[in-house]
Amino acid sequence: MNRRAAWITGTFILVILIGAGGWLAYDKLLRHDIPVYASDIDQFKYGSIGNDEANGLPYLIWRVLPTVFADHLPGPGGYASVGFLWEPGRDHSEAPIGFSHARVGFERMAINCAFCHVTEARLDANEQPKYYIGGASNTVNVLAYQQFLTACARDPRFNADVLLPAIEREVPLSFVDRLLYRFLIIPATRKALLQQGDQFAWADKRPTWGPGRIDPFNPVKFGMLKLSDDGTIGNSKMQVVWGLDARNAIRANAPLHWDGLNTSVHEVVVSSALGDGANAKGIDWNTTNRIEHILRTMQPPPSPIKTDAALVQRGQVVFAANCAECHAKDGARTLTAVPLAELGTDPHRDAMWTTQARDTYNNYREGYDWGFKSFQKMDGYVAETLEALWLRGPYLHNASVPTVADLLEPAEQRPRSYLRESTTIDQDRLGFVTGSCDPAHPPKQGFCYDTTQPGNANGGHLYGMTLTAEDKRALLEYLKTL
Classified as helix, coil or strand, 72 is: helix
Percent of the chain at pLDDT exceeding 90: 89
pLDDT mean over 88-106:
93
Q: For the beta carbon of residue 372, count every other beta carbon within 10 angstroms.
A: 20
Q: At what angle do helices 469-479 and 309-322 cross, to 10 degrees?
A: 100
Name residue 229's amino acid: D
Q: How far is Cα 227 from Cα 59, in angstroms, rounded to an integer?
A: 32
Classified as helix, coil or strand, 200 is: coil
CB 278 within 8 A of CB 54: yes
The more confidently predicted of residues 24 and 238 is 238
The rounded mean pLDDT for the chain is 93
Q: For the beta carbon of residue 358, count every other beta carbon within 10 angstroms.
A: 18
Domain residue ranges in the chain: 3-115+142-208, 236-479
What is the band of 376 on the pLDDT scale with cuts at 50, 70, 90? very high
Q: How far is Cα 54 from Cα 281, in angstroms, rounded to an integer?
A: 9
Classified as helix, coil or strand, 79 is: helix
CB 339 within 8 A of CB 379: yes
Between β-strands 99-104 and 106-111, what pairing exists: parallel, antiparallel or unpaired? antiparallel
Residues 464/466/468/469 CA torsion (nearest 10 deg):
70
Tally of helices (H runs) and strands (E runs) in the chain = 20, 12
DSSP lists the bridge partners of residue 419 as 435, 448
Within 13 A of 223's CA, how many CA atoms are on the CB side? 19
Task: Report the pLDDT value the prediction gives residue 23, as an integer from 0 to 100.
Answer: 47
Predicted TM-score (pTM) of this structure: 0.92
What is the band of 176 on the pLDDT scale with cuts at 50, 70, 90? confident
Q: How far is Cα 259 from Cα 276, in angstroms, rounded to an integer?
A: 20
